Amino acid sequence: MDKKEWFRARKWGVFHHYLNALQNQADSANSDGQQTDWNDCVNALNTDWLAEQLHEMGAGYLVFTIMQRSRHMIAPNAAYDAITGYKPGEACSERDLIADLIASLSKYDIPLFLYYTGDGPGLDGRAARAFGCPTEIPGASVDAFLDKWLAVLREYSLRYGEKIRGWWIDGAYPPCGFPTPDAPGIGRIREAALAGNPNALFSANHFGCFHGGGTRVLPEVGEVIFGNFYHSIAQPTAYDDYSAGEIVSFDAYPEEREIGGAIPHVLSFLGIPAQPVKVYEGWGKPGCKYSPEYLRAYVDCFNRLGGVVSLDACLMRDGSIDPAQRKALAALRSLREREGGQ
């Protein structure tokens, strides 16, 4: 089966943000009140339990973050350590969480997609300087940055090979050195991501979830983005097999079975933002802002129009998924059972 049609047949999947800032911060709802060494945090995740929950709800695939802006990675990487000078275990976890996820998910035939970024570990000063992150280092060369940053990505891709079925690349934005949807840098990311499995699916998030916005600082709230949030599926990049599709609410629908040659795909969150005015901050948060009935009707309609839906769910430190979200996601199981989604 063609890889795009294979993905379309998966119908929907779960997306998890697994980050030091979520599962390893004492004041985060995801951490069970714990804040430890990064290795202790990674070791606490029960991949078998996570896979069992995903199987029970009928998820078609899992998208899991390798990193996001900080130095913390979820698996060893020799290139990363060599470039930054961090010792094994200081930034890249000693546990190969990706390998363990693959092993646990394979028991239920749940494919794994990985999340990586185009802008690198900019929040860590040491790593940002070592890689030459353009968002943090004035005048830094995007090509020189990608030479280093993509060596890390390529190492992961070659290690896991065909066991990784897809990639979702964040931070391929104009301010990050990717001025247009056909920027050569995005093509370089695709090449590195698919080094281990040329048949894997690829998508790069170039547009984000809003456009034409600005920020304001509100009393007792802080900085708030006021923008034109997407309520339609943003155009894919020239390199995408499926659209990145980041939106803040599940209310967009595909008008055609393909958008610029890519499968229509959307990604949004189930969580409830702590501050309602920050409508975009439900990523990885607990609670569910949709009823099971609404989610089922939405995903069913989106699938019938030829698209695929990824739902960001709150993942706890031990591998548990937020109970309210588990209940809502369980309502989607019959959508894949109905047509034997494989």
Residue 228 is predicted with a pLDDT of: 65
Q: Model confidence at 250, in pLDDT bands (50, 70, 90)? A: very high
* pTM beyond 0.75, yes or no: yes
> Helices 47-57 and 97-106 sit at what angle, rounded to 10 degrees?
40
The per-residue pLDDT of the chain, averaged, comes to 95
**Predicted confidence (pLDDT) per residue in 127-153, tens digit:** 999 999 999 999 999 999 999 999 999
Residue 214 is predicted with a pLDDT of: 72
DSSP-based three-state secondary structure for 81: helix
Residue 209 is predicted with a pLDDT of: 67
Instruction: Output the CA–CA distances (angstroms, integers) from residue 30 to 35, 45, 235, 284, in the order listed.
Output: 11, 12, 33, 8
> Helices 142-160 and 184-193 sit at what angle, rounded to 10 degrees?
20
Residue 230 is predicted with a pLDDT of: 66
Residue 76 is predicted with a pLDDT of: 99
Contacts of 278 (CB under 8 A, 6+ apart): 221, 224, 225
Among 118-132, 133-147, 213-227, where is mean pLDDT lowest? 213-227
User: Quick one: average pLDDT of 275-284?
Assistant: 91
Q: In angstroms, rounded to a whole number, what is the distance separating the alpha carbons of residues 270 and 311? A: 7
Top pLDDT among 212 and 255 is at: 255
Among 172-181, 191-200, 229-238, 239-248, where is mean pLDDT lowest? 229-238
User: Quick one: average pLDDT of 259-273?
Assistant: 97
Q: How many helices (H) and strands (E) does the chain have?
A: 12, 9
CATH topology of domain 3-338: TIM Barrel (3.20.20)
Residue 57 is predicted with a pLDDT of: 98
Among 105-119, 175-189, 206-220, 312-326, where is mean pLDDT lowest? 206-220
Residue 208 is predicted with a pLDDT of: 74
Residue 144 is predicted with a pLDDT of: 98
**Predicted confidence (pLDDT) per residue in 158-172, tens digit:** 999 999 999 999 999
**Predicted confidence (pLDDT) per residue in 39-65, tens digit:** 999 999 999 999 999 999 999 999 999
In sign, the C-alpha dihedral spanning 265, 103, 154, 161 is negative
